[in-house]
Amino acid sequence: MKTLWELFAAFFRIGAFTFGGGYAMLSLIQKEVVENKKWATDEEVLDYYAVAQCTPGVIAVNTATFIGYKQKGVLGAVAATFGVVLPSLIIISIIAAVLQNFMQYEIVQHIFGGIRVAVAVLIVNAVITMGKKAIIDRLCVILSISAFLVSVIFPSVSPVFIVLAAALTGIVTMKRGGADK
């Protein structure tokens, strides 16, 4: 049985070893929560991501809160949320205190350039991993391509509307007997 400390520690590790924000954390959350700890299934984590994307706040923090709540109720949500946020708070406090003194150095600029590339790769990895599990039939292929095109062609459209449209499509097709496999 998981303890509050286990929830805190797992999400502290995720928060401490992920650069690039919420989306970069998704693959680490999946690996830790589904594969290592078995606290949730791939489908549950995908559902958490979808809801977390539609709620105010950072997707990784929202996801940690949902997972913590599922495991240990309100105290679990607090432990997981605090765990995933604390490393960033510590790191940002340190960086803010010293960064201005070092930003003019070319090597620091190159370090941040390398970190940006690594973050992009982590985000692509999360998308591929989630896509392999989420795209299960023809309807899912159509929805994923449509959502991608809408977000690229109309970048000002809120992801909330894209998710709601996909959910509505799922409800409509469910009432009609589902999509072809």
Question: Do 37 and 113 contact (CB within 8 A), yes or no?
Answer: no
Looking at the predicted structure, is the pLDDT value of residue 181 above 50?
Answer: no
Q: Which pLDDT tens digit goes with each residue over 47-95? A: 888 888 878 888 888 999 999 999 999 999 999 999 999 998 998 888 8
Structure tokens of 115?
């970190």
Structure tokens of 126?
């999360």
Q: Which pLDDT tens digit goes with each residue over 125-165? A: 888 888 888 888 899 999 999 999 999 999 999 988 998 99
* H helix count then E strand count, the chain: 7, 0
